[in-house]
Structure 1
């Protein structure tokens, strides 16, 4: 297949190149480093703690005890694999594509999209704002996550504009509308979460498409493994598999769907027509998306857990908000250690790391992350709690909740 996007790839000489490789601050370079700017971004994300926590965050099934059910980290790795295959086939920059893909979901809350809705509800009530995982992903790669630099001091990730842009612009349904990159560089922190903004690069557009492709079949595989689908629903999936002449498949599976959609996208797309699927596969994607939402995402067994997740998130928020005082919030968090040692220890460290530099001196001078919160200001304190909860894994949130309610 001809790499029809070679002239559009984000490489030196591209009209958007200078903007694409811009960083918020200069980034140190080790002598003899062989990596490109985007390869460095990929590695910086791979090494950060938010990426590690994805292995215990919900994709669809909450706090799963089944080792073979997809968690958020597996989804991210699937998106990275799909996006890289598409980028390499089309002739785009695969390193940039991979760097966007590996970081696109770092800001997801515990308990998946249910947790996202819960935090958004709290943010609206307390701050008059919304919580969106894509904006929180940008917030985490920009201001929360840190890595140790030479000299032992920890700084923010400081990723390139093109990667940060792809992270915050990865959401939005395609339907039969082709995806093109936008022309102008926008201030990314000001992109509203409830508005669909196309990415700045073709590589970011590829990740946006890959996010859809990677999830459809994996959700179905997990639903089959967990036995939540009826006979009629399984019969429907067998019929879908047979559309592709796959009579040996008992049900549709992830690898089959990935192959179908990746091949179709690469054959149907061009710089002139945008990233697109054939009309038959647009219909198939829409059909399977509706199936997944109706029979999997909103299955009654998941609905039971949403109520449990709501209790967990609200309880943690209320317990931590109860420690706020204009003059002695840190002292109150210290006192909380007597009954909730794990929760209090980690939240105290969070306030120190992202608080005023004078607070950091009480523990360490190694953190040079952005100052985000003033613990004396109630709105700042509320934001600190929401950021802290959003970084939790499902298992940590459950542990914190049990610590709160145990005697």
Structure 2
């Protein structure tokens, strides 16, 4: 980029550079000049920023408090004490790395891909999908709606960060986060390219008020589709390696039809899956797996669900974690409705937020507060609240 002294020329040169960079991208890529903001700000037009539009969103995600909490949120095996078990912080980095490899192969917008990938799990509850399901149950019991980490990630970025002021993240990034659902597998991923801001807000609201609606929506960009499939690629092999590390499964347990096509370790699986989707999606406005690889991936999906995520050991321990999260939710809800208790953690959370946040329904305030907790902090609060403390000295 060329730097000139006069501010108007700096802006003009920046626009020229943006246009030149956009011309190098695939015709199916999202252009930097197409970046749309969902919030209106009043920054002076002469303000200059060296970063490309979606680079700014990367930084907004990286410097958010929600991103800092990734480090103490586990991926699938929440209760195993092993430093080599995948943490959420590693997972989002791996998603970003895989997605950028696919994006480079297809000549897409790598900044947009990275922003979506790093931010896609910001709204995850403590203990991953177990905590997510527990909060969802609590909202349904109160007839408020439904909880899913996709919509909650968007909520945290826009309405919770910076004491409720939020960040001015672009529509394309927010949409990619909202639509990233990695629990759904498809052979073909087509973007909803005609999506508008109004449609995005409608989908966001329906995710809170229509059950399983997050599973029915598609990203508006091809970059969002890349992150969606990269979420899958990043965890299938790693969940297997983690399960082997803690002794839940053995290498010989893997289905032969999976090993023959995808290999038997994380490295082989990632390499085959990335290569297959780049080859079969090249110069296409959508992503596509070959039939052979997709069938093997479907078998692997089923194997992971049965032998890892629903392993008897995990089911037993996850029932305890579910009770833990639900008890915390109910306790925090009681704190909010108890006028005589204004020194609780959740009341302090509300007082720190901007004035308009006070109008938020109690059900959602509790969801905000609890979903923002890390695994260890949720456990600490639970122990302090529900378990007896030792008093006095041993004689």
What is the match of residue 347 of structure 1? 346
Q: 2:336 is matched with which residue: 309, 324, 330?
A: 324
By percentage of residues, which structure has more helix? 2
Are 2:335 and 2:346, in contact at CA under 8 Å, matched by a contact in 1? Answer: no
What is the match of residue 272 of structure 2? 260
Number of residue pairs aligned between Structure 1 and Structure 2: 355
Are 2:64 and 2:161, in contact at CA under 8 Å, matched by a contact in 1? Answer: yes
Aligned to 2:272, the other structure's residue is in SS state helix
Distance 2:297 2:330 in 1: 41
> Any gaps of 5 or more consecutive residues in structure 1?
148-153, 247-251, 335-343, 357-370
Q: Which moved more, 1:297-306 or 1:237-246?
A: 237-246
Task: Please say if 1:106 is aligned against 2:105.
Answer: no
Q: 1:397 is matched with which residue: 378, 387, 391?
A: 378
Q: 2:168 is matched with which residue: 153, 158, 167?
A: 158
RMSD (Å) for aligned C-alpha atoms: 2.5
Once the two structures are TM-superposed, the CA of residue 28 in structure 1 deviates from its matched residue by 4.8
What is the match of residue 216 of structure 1? 236
Once the two structures are TM-superposed, the CA of residue 373 in structure 1 deviates from its matched residue by 3.0
* TM-score, normalised relative to structure 2: 0.83
What is the match of residue 175 of structure 1? 186
Aligned to 1:255, the other structure's residue is in SS state helix
Once the two structures are TM-superposed, the CA of residue 141 in structure 1 deviates from its matched residue by 1.0
What is the match of residue 122 of structure 1? 138
What is the match of residue 252 of structure 2? 235
Q: 2:98 is matched with which residue: 78, 82, 93?
A: 82
> Any gaps of 5 or more consecutive residues in structure 2?
1-22, 389-395
Aligned to 2:225, the other structure's residue is in SS state helix
Aligned to 1:324, the other structure's residue is in SS state helix
Aligned to 2:336, the other structure's residue is in SS state coil
Distance 1:126 1:354 in 2: 24
Once the two structures are TM-superposed, the CA of residue 142 in structure 1 deviates from its matched residue by 1.0
Distance 1:352 1:58 in 2: 29
Are 2:255 and 2:300, in contact at CA under 8 Å, matched by a contact in 1? Answer: no
Deviations 1:72-128 (A, max 9, x none): 111111111011111111110000110011001111111111111111110011133
Aligned to 1:284, the other structure's residue is in SS state helix
Distance 2:262 2:376 in 1: 42
Are 1:56 and 1:63, in contact at CA under 8 Å, matched by a contact in 2? Answer: no
Are 1:62 and 1:305, in contact at CA under 8 Å, matched by a contact in 2? Answer: no
Are 1:182 and 1:198, in contact at CA under 8 Å, matched by a contact in 2? Answer: no
